[in-house]
Amino acid sequence: MIQLKNLSREFQVGNQVVHALDAIDLSISQGDYVSIMGVSGCGKTTLLNILGLLDTPSSGDYILSGINTSEMNDDEMANIRSTKIGFIFQSFHLIPRLTAAENVEIPMILAGHSQKMRAEKVAKALARVNLTDRSDHRPEQLSGGERQRVAIARSIVMEPEVLLADEPTGNLDSTSGSEIVELIEELNQGGLTLILVTHDKEIGKRSNRVIRLLDGKIIFNQTQQGI
Amino acid sequence: MKFSDLLFLAFSSLIRYPLRTMMLLIATSIGVMAVILLTAVGEGARDYITSEFRDLGTNLIIVIPGKHETSGGGGPADFAGLAPRDLTVEDAISLRQIDTIKAIAPIVLGEMPASFGGFERDVPVIGTTPEFLRVRRWEMREGDFLPGVTLDRSPPVCAIGKEVEKELFGTSRAIGQWLRVGDRRCRVTGIIDSDGRAIGIDVQKIVVMPVSLVTALFNRPSLFRIIAEAESRIYMDQIKKDIIRIIKKRHQGKEDITVVRQDTVMASFDNIFNVLTMALASIASISLFVAGILIMNVMLVAVSQRQSEIGLLKAIGAKNRQISNLFLTEAILLSGSGAILGLILGHSITLSLKTIFPTYNFLPPTWASVVSLFVALICGALFGLIPARRAAKLDPVIALSGEK
Ligand SMILES: Nc1ncnc2c1ncn2[C@@H]1O[C@H](COP(=O)(O)OP(=O)(O)OP(=O)(O)O)[C@@H](O)[C@H]1O
Ligand SMILES: [Mg+2]
């Protein structure tokens, strides 16, 4: 479902050109569990941003579900982000003034869904991450792991096809970190395509496929036997 | 995104930053309040001046001693009262030859001590004829206004205001009593029921006497003015010309009077005060613009403070338009509630001013409330546009990586 063809992303920094991604070829199929690894600055976040349509490549093609994304305008990309893609970040990115339930509700609000449908799906998503009893709490009243679970609930409430996670355990202790990983792996087993940026070799080993980047190039791309 | 959700999101961020919100609310409300207060003062001034003329009967022509160069249309300068040559009772009598004039009421003004029994007080004295009652549309509570009085007949009678009656006569019956005014005596024939003001004087405090008696009392022949009532509106311009011609002939060919129609005076006062009120309103609107600029600056700061939130919203599917609508709604919500606060403040202050200064009217015009509300909303929208655009244009990657 995801196909990258000779894709590059360059940044102009002063009079220097940084090749954050350099002629990447990659295809990921539906339901895959891919971990992206590599040293700091190798281009992992940049790759994830391009996959999530937050960033656009300098050259090359990104074909998503058969559509070349370079032909999309801003609104079409926003639509895809809304309906097909879920994001999870290292720093959670919850809106502090809103409760857990309201944070989860935002993607549905933006999509213009009805109150009734929203209440239903928000409750379902919060139940999925085991936070039903915390739905009225604000982010500052939640632990790091709970915050990330709220963020996961928010990412799945629109029932996307792909979940993009950028070091989701980076700010968490190992116990809550592994809870989060188990949770998103369960989601993957439910059919969600999971693309996970991580520094953690253990997590890397559990994925079906490891992609290793160095200086914007794929240096390792291997499917491994299941968990 | 539904409108109610937009409001909810905008509102939630407004209460998240209470200090900022309060500050902007105050700024906007001061602007709106200023518009309400200043226009209330302007309208109050208009009412104060024009009520004088509004209470008069219709088809009136007013003759004022003195000629003013600007008097073509009859501006307020005509009432400055600079009298180079006397206008006399004889002048008033001479106007009888104009047969389209229905009634002539000369006016003499002054102040004299009036006494009855042991009580004495200084009272404003008006000398006139019975026609004055109709011209002013006064009502009598009791008795007759000035029975038997004409321009050339001055029996010693007088009518008094309610307060004069109460203070000099107390509970005893005033009608038929002899009231001493200055060195004259006159019989009280009537009590005036009206209150309010006439020629700037409180009606309840006055003593009205026959015109010639008052000119003799003050030992001064000059009239304050002459009010003539036309048979019909259509004669008014002709009467004006005739009056000027007749008085000019009597005053050795000098045109030393000013003749104005009451309706044109009203109209020109209305114009002057419209201009005044508009000027006050536009001065006050400047503060609304200042508030608008303040909103813009604070919203710009908010956009950079909330970068990561904007990045996140984009990541979870917000369109650029939705982001800009969100910030725009915040700005309009701010300016709108500030405006409503300002309306409440402005109107309650004018109400309390009214109770503190009952003689002066504070009349906040309805249009001022409507206009200031709209101007505030438009300011909010216009000045909110730039921050909203900036938020919408933010690169989500940079916004997300900015801070946590
Ligand atoms: N907006 C930008 N402007 C300029 N250079 C950028 C920008 N974003 C990324 N880069 C550069 O591109 C390269 C890849 O960055 P990226 O954030 O993708 O790395 P990363 O693999 O996610 O690193 P980390 O593990 O530290 O998160 C880096 O050299 C970085 O400096
Ligand atoms: Mg990164």
Closest ligand 1 atom to residue A216 Cα is 14
Distance A89 CA to ligand 2 centre (A): 10
Pocket test for ligand 1, best of B307, B394, B395, B397 (most atoms within 8 A of CB): B397
Q: Do A106 and B316 touch (CB under 8 A)?
A: yes
Q: What is the b/e burial string over A130-142, where b = at least 16 CB atoms within 10 angstroms of the residue's CB?
A: ebeebbebbbeeb
What is the spatial distance between Cα B240 and Cα B262, in angstroms, rounded to a whole number?
Answer: 11
Ligand nearest to the CA of A213: 1
Q: In what order do the strands lie in the sheet with A59-64?
A: A16-28, A2-13, A59-64, A67-68
A44, A197, A215, A218, best to mutate for ligand 1 pocket (most atoms within 8 Å of CB): A44
Contact A122, A108 (CB under 8 A): yes
Which residues are near ligand 2, the ion (C-beta closer than 5 Å)? Answer: A 45
Q: Which residue in B16, B318, B396 is closest to A110 by CB distance?
A: B318
Residue B68: the pLDDT is 61
Q: Does B16 touch chain A (CB under 8 A)?
A: yes
Atom of ligand 1 nearest to the CA of A9: 12
Is A106's CB within 8 Å of B2's CB?
Answer: no
Say how many residues make up chain A.
227
Distance A87 CA to ligand 1 centre (A): 18
Question: H/E element holding B120?
Answer: strand B119-128
Which of A52, A75, A98 lies at the smallest CB-CB distance from B315? A52
Percentage above 70 pLDDT, chain A? 99
pLDDT value, residue B54: 66
> What's the pLDDT score for residue B304?
87
Task: Specify burial of residue B165 (Cβ count, 10 A radius: 0-12, 13-18, 19+).
Answer: buried
Cα A45 to middle of ligand 2, angstroms: 4
What pLDDT, on the 0 to 100 scale, is given for residue B76? 47
Beta-carbon contacts of residue A198 (< 8 Å; ≥ 6 apart): A35, A36, A37, A167, A169, A204
Distance (angstroms) between ligand 1 centre and the Cα of A217 equals 13
Which CA distances in Å does A214 have to A19, A22, B48, B385? Answer: 11, 10, 85, 43
Bridge partners, A10 (sequence order)? A19
The pLDDT assigned to B75 comes to: 44
**How is chain A split among helix, strand and coil, in percent rounded to 5?**
40, 30, 35
Residue B403 Cα to ligand 2 middle (Å): 13
A159: confidence class by pLDDT, cuts 50, 70, 90: very high
Q: What is the model's pLDDT at position A139?
A: 95
Mean of the pLDDT values across residues A213-220? 92
Handedness of CA B33, B38, B43, B45 (dihedral sign): positive
Who's near A202: CB < 8 A, 6+ residues apart? none
Which class for B68: exposed (0-12), middle (13-18), buried (19 or more C-beta within 10 A)? middle
Put simply, the chain B residues between 312 and 331 with a CB less than 8 A from any chain A CB are 312-322
A77 close to B (CB below 8 A): no
Check: CB of residue B143 under 8 Å from CB of residue B76.
Answer: no
Strand partners, B372: none
- Cα B381 to the center of its chain, rounded Å: 33
Tokens of B73: 């249309």
The per-residue pLDDT for B361 is 76
Q: pLDDT averaged over chain A? A: 93
In chain A, at which residue ranges do the beta strands (DSSP E only) sit? Answer: 2-13, 16-28, 33-37, 59-64, 67-68, 85-88, 162-166, 193-197, 209-214, 217-223
Give the end-to-end CA distance of chain A in Å, rounded to a whole number. 23
What chain A holds in terms of domains, given with CATH numbers, is 31-54+69-223 (3.40.50.300)
DSSP H helical ranges for B72-192:
89-94, 131-136, 162-164
**Smallest Cα distance from B314 to chain A, Å:** 7
**Rounded CA gap, B43 and B361, in Å?**
8
Q: For residues B228 and B97, is the Cβ–Cβ distance under 8 A?
A: no
Closest by Cβ to B400, choosing from A78, A93, A95:
A93
Contact flag B309-A95 (C-beta cutoff 8 Å): yes
A30 contacts chain B (CB < 8 A)? no
> What pLDDT does residue B81 have?
47
Q: Two tokens at B237?
A: 């311009």
Asked if B7 reaches chain A (Cβ–Cβ under 8 Å), the answer is: no
| Phi, psi (rounded to 5 degrees) for A63 | -110, 120
Q: In A, residues 166-205, which contact B (CB 8 Å cutoff)?
A: none
Six-digit token pair at B345?
């403040």
Interface A-B, measured as beta-carbon pairs within 8 A, has a size of: 74
Is the minimum distance from the CB of A12 to ligand 1 under 6 angstroms? no
Which range has the worst mean pLDDT, A39-48, A153-162, B134-143? Answer: B134-143
Give the angle B173-B177-B183 at the CA atoms, nearest 5°: 140
CA pair distance B362, B358, nearest whole angstrom: 9
Query: What was the pLDDT predicted at A73?
Result: 93
Beta strands in A32-81 (DSSP E): 33-37, 59-64, 67-68
Identify the residue whose C-alpha is closest to ligand 1 atom 20: A41
CB contact under 8 A, B319 and A74: yes
Q: What separation in Å is there between the alpha carbon of A215 and the centre of ligand 2?
A: 13
**Nearest listed ligand to the Cα of residue A217:** 1
Q: Please indicate whether residue A170, judged by its CB atom, sits closer than 6 Å to ligand 1.
A: no
| Distance from C-alpha of B290 to C-alpha of B294, rounded to nearest angstrom | 6
pLDDT the model gives residue A225:
63
Residue A98 in contact with partner chain B when CB distance is under 8 A: yes
Please report where in the chains the tokens 């160095």 appear, as a residue. Answer: A214
Number of other CB atoms surrounding residue B1 within 10 Å: 19
* Distance (Å, whole) CA A214 – CA B347: 70
What string of pLDDT tens digits covers the 404 residues of chain B? Answer: 788 888 888 888 888 888 888 988 998 899 899 889 988 888 888 877 777 666 677 788 989 888 765 444 444 444 544 445 688 989 999 998 999 998 899 999 999 999 998 888 999 999 999 998 888 888 899 899 999 888 888 899 999 999 999 989 888 888 999 999 998 899 999 999 887 777 778 888 999 999 999 999 999 888 998 999 998 888 988 999 999 999 988 888 888 888 888 888 778 888 888 888 888 888 888 888 888 888 888 888 888 888 999 999 999 999 999 999 999 999 999 899 999 999 999 999 999 988 888 777 788 888 889 988 998 899 889 889 999 999 999 999 988 886 53
At A108-135, the pLDDT tens digits run 999 999 999 999 999 999 999 999 999 9
* Chain A residues near residue B316 by CB distance under 8 angstroms: 81-82, 87, 106-107, 110, 154-155
Pocket probe mutation, ligand 1, options A37, A46, A89, max atoms within 8 Å of Cβ: A46
Ligand 1 atom closest to the Cα of residue A43 is: 18
Across the strands, what pairs with B183? Answer: none
Q: Are A129 and A182 in contact (CB under 8 A)?
A: no
Sign of torsion, CA B87 B88 B92 B94? Answer: negative
Q: Which atom belonging to ligand 1 lies closest to the Cα atom of B398?
A: 1
DSSP 8-state assignment for residue B165: I
